Amino acid sequence: MMRNLAPDTDIRVEFQTGVPMSDGLRAFAPGETVAGTLTIRTAKEVKCNHAYLRLAWHTEGRGDRDRAVVQERDVFQGTLRAGEPTTFPFEFLAPRDPWSYAGVYVNIVWAVEVDLDVPWAVNPRHEQPFVLAAWSAAQR
């Protein structure tokens, strides 16, 4: 599941590590490297004050929504050229917890989040979810 909240900006996060799952997500164990590439393509030239890449989790479901940013990188400042893809490699170290969870009342969702800080406009954002869970080598 990919969520791109900017219709005139194409933001893609592709993982190079992790274990592919049947639902299209990637799975990572605590302590593994979450590595991949971020690609941004805009329909028009855009001044970008900052392009933030974050490793974060949040809760969904009943009750208050909790959220934590575990790691953050500022990967770009400058001008994004119209139609030209701009690509950035990334690496994060998957933390020990909390593990991903899908329950009746609450879910814990991990994601690599992208937030483009652009002046005088709504910031284009994107999140690419993944699963953080411990498993044995036999399950891989």
Residue 140 lies in a domain: no
* Contact yes or no for 55/28 (Cβ under 8 A): no
Interval 85-125: pLDDT, tens:
999 999 999 999 999 999 999 999 999 999 999 998 899 99
CATH number at residue 12: 2.60.40.640
Domain total of the chain: 1
- φ and ψ at residue 67, rounded to 5 degrees: -155, 145
Residue 131 lies in a domain: yes
Q: What average pLDDT score do residues 44-50 get?
A: 93
Nearest to 43 by CA among 4, 3, 13, 75: 4
> Which two structure tokens, joined as six digits, stand for 32?
């593994």
Q: Which amino acid is at 46?
A: V
Residue 47 lies in a domain: yes
Owning domain of residue 131:
3-135
Question: Which of 21-25, 82-86, 98-102, 134-138 comes out lowest in average pLDDT?
Answer: 134-138
Residue 112 lies in a domain: yes
Whole-prediction pTM value? 0.88
Residue 100 lies in a domain: yes
Q: How far is the C-alpha of 18 from the C-alpha of 35, rounded, in Å?
A: 8
- CA 5, 128, 109, 76 torsion-angle sign: negative
* Contact yes or no for 114/92 (Cβ under 8 A): no
Residue 27 lies in a domain: yes
